[in-house]
Amino acid sequence: MRLTKFTDLALRAVMRLAVFEGGTPLTTREVAEAVNVPYAHMAKVITRLQHLGVVEARRGRGGGLELTGLGRTASVGWLVRELEGEDEVVTCEGDTPCPLRGACRLRGALREAQEAFHRALDPLTVADLVTAPTGPVLVGLTGRRPD
């Protein structure tokens, strides 16, 4: 299985926010810089995470990003399903439909493999992802420029 770049960025963003240690909340730009991705991509990711209720974003002075309670306890499997959507691994229909689609066993096997992939992620939470040794590395990725 391969995650989309969007899902990869979302997981990196929630992991970085999960280890935030007080002070002025991180901005979208700071999270983007910390995980080394363009701001525009991260802004789209943060908007989606807000819609899922995983991240809260406040504007203005003292604003910034914060992981919600759901964001800390969410199953990684749930989050990946929400971000990836319900698309199957292979597309048997479309402009050039596969001639085997009526009698193919591969499609069903790949659907089962995809669900097994998600089930393997279900017991993990975002909090689990940031335990040592990952958490300390994430804390070091400030995304803030020195004064």
Q: What are phi and psi of 7, to 5 degrees?
A: -65, -40
Angle at 147 between CA 36 and CA 133, to 5 degrees: 45
**What tens digit of pLDDT does each residue of 86-122 get?**
887 777 777 788 888 778 888 889 889 999 999 999 9
Helix axis angle for 39-51 and 5-18, nearest 10°, is 80
Contact 129, 15 (CB under 8 A): yes
The tokens describing 134, both together, are 């990952």
Its pTM stands at 0.84
pLDDT at residue 133, rounded to an integer:
74
Task: Identify the band that residue 137 occupies on the pLDDT scale cut at 50, 70 and 90.
Answer: confident
